Amino acid sequence: MRPAILVEQLGKQYQIGERENYETLRDAIARTFRYPRERQRKQPPTFWALRDVSFQVNQGEVLGIIGRNGAGKSTLLKILSRITEPTTGRIDLYGRVGSLLEVGTGFHQELTGRENVFLNGAILGMPRSEIAAKFNDIVAFAEVERFIDTPVKRYSSGMYLRLAFSVAAFLESEILLVDEVLAVGDASFQKRCLGKMRDISAGGRTVIFVSHNMAAIESLCTRCLMISQGSLAADGAPHAIITQYMAGDLASQNASSDLSSHPNRRGGLNAIMRRVTLLSEEARPVSSVRMGGSLAVQVDFACTGRPVRPHLEVGIKNSFGVTVFHASNRVITQYQFAESMDQGSITCHLPDLPLVAGLYSIDLFFGEEYQNVDAVYDAISFEVTPADVFGSGQIPSANEGTIFWPATWSVKADDVGEQPNQRA
């Protein structure tokens, strides 16, 4: 089957800090005769926004693209939209392309909303009758009925965005390119947009979706690319690529904290805990974890007096300082370590964290079987990011509690039998 998009060894180079100087033919001839042996002017420095990027997208596929700011994601979409010319490589697009890259792209400021709808359809090569047939659906989805005959320069950013997305979604382009611009809309509009993109892909159209919203990427996309420093770093299933991104690209110095002189140590206790580090399932330092992901809390310790049999209690608190849960090896017999030691590390593994999205902090209590010899409050913090934990496209809301729970459900209809006839 022929792909919808084919990208081969794509590259885009930009100059840094200087604009290209333009001159007339007369200026060029005069300069040549005035300075016949002029040394070639020093070329300004350059950088590659994209380099040697190759992939293909099949018809009906929903491809997510993730990466840090400045990685080259938006540059890639601009090249796919034919807004920017590539420096190297080639792209083949099989079908009409509708794009929503940033607020303002594709609309004429002086024209009304109605006029811009027909203008965009004409640019896509659609006959006026086809545009007219979809016009009411476009306006209804965008919720701009009252202002459709007002010049779009007077629209708010939200109105502008709703109409731009609606035009891109309803005018039958075979390929739809959507950048992070959806972040401008409110939660209700974002939900409707994601639902519309699911409908688009179910209808056999191809969608490329760039976003920092990992939950949206996972729930919507069938495949995911990770762009890093202008290169294609990973390509695969959304869950695996997002996990790699969170564990690698987003790892930072906030994944570790020095506890030796921590200001929140409980008074009168010895500074036995020296450092705390948050680790991913692959044992890499991380400062964030996805909903339902795994996290490990590693504490390095060194005793100044006698050795201890290490016991660690980990308390997780939400952003309001309310304790969500505690984990302690004091109450689990198989993890009550018999060997005493002067120094080492003890790690608490927290698989399948049931925390909803938000910021959390950790209290640490270190000691022996019945006594804490060190305690540090708010020792380190971490972020839980949204994820489609139930595979339903719906994200548990933080307004409904601090944890989500994988409950099971059953239903049974009552067997009421034949009902007697009712008499008036």
253-387+395-400 folds as: Coagulation Factor XIII; Chain A, domain 1 (2.70.50)
> In the β-sheet with 175-178, what is the strand arrangement from edge to edge?
97-100, 175-178, 206-210, 62-66, 223-228, 231-236
User: Which burial class, exposed, middle or buried, applies to 87 when counting CB atoms under 10 A from its CB (0-12, 13-18, 19+)?
Assistant: middle
**Which pLDDT value is given to residue 96?**
80
pLDDT at position 424: 42
Q: How far is residue 417's CA from residue 423's CA, in Å, rounded to a whole number?
A: 19
- Using an 8 Å Cβ cutoff, are 109 and 153 in contact? yes
Strand, helix or coil at 156?
coil
Residue with tokens 């009550």: 336
Name the one residue in this structure whose structure tokens are 């409908």.
199
Q: Enumerate the domain spans of the chain.
A: 5-19+41-247, 253-387+395-400
Query: Which stretches in the chain have pLDDT values below 70?
Result: 1, 17-23, 28, 31-44, 102-106, 180-187, 247-253, 338, 369, 399, 416-424
Task: Provide the 3-class DSSP secondary structure of residue 359.
Answer: strand
The CATH code belonging to domain 5-19+41-247 is: 3.40.50.300
- Largest Cα separation within the chain, whole Å, is 112
Backbone angles phi, psi at 182, to 5 degrees: -60, -20
Q: For the packed helices 128-142 and 113-123, what is the interaxial angle rounded to 10 degrees?
A: 130
Residue type, 317: K
Residue 109, Cα to own-chain centre: how many angstroms? Answer: 31
**Domains 5-19+41-247 and 253-387+395-400 in one fold:** no
Contact in structure between 342 and 326 (CB atoms under 8 Å): no
Q: What is the pLDDT of residue 92?
A: 92
The residue to which tokens 């019945």 are assigned: 370
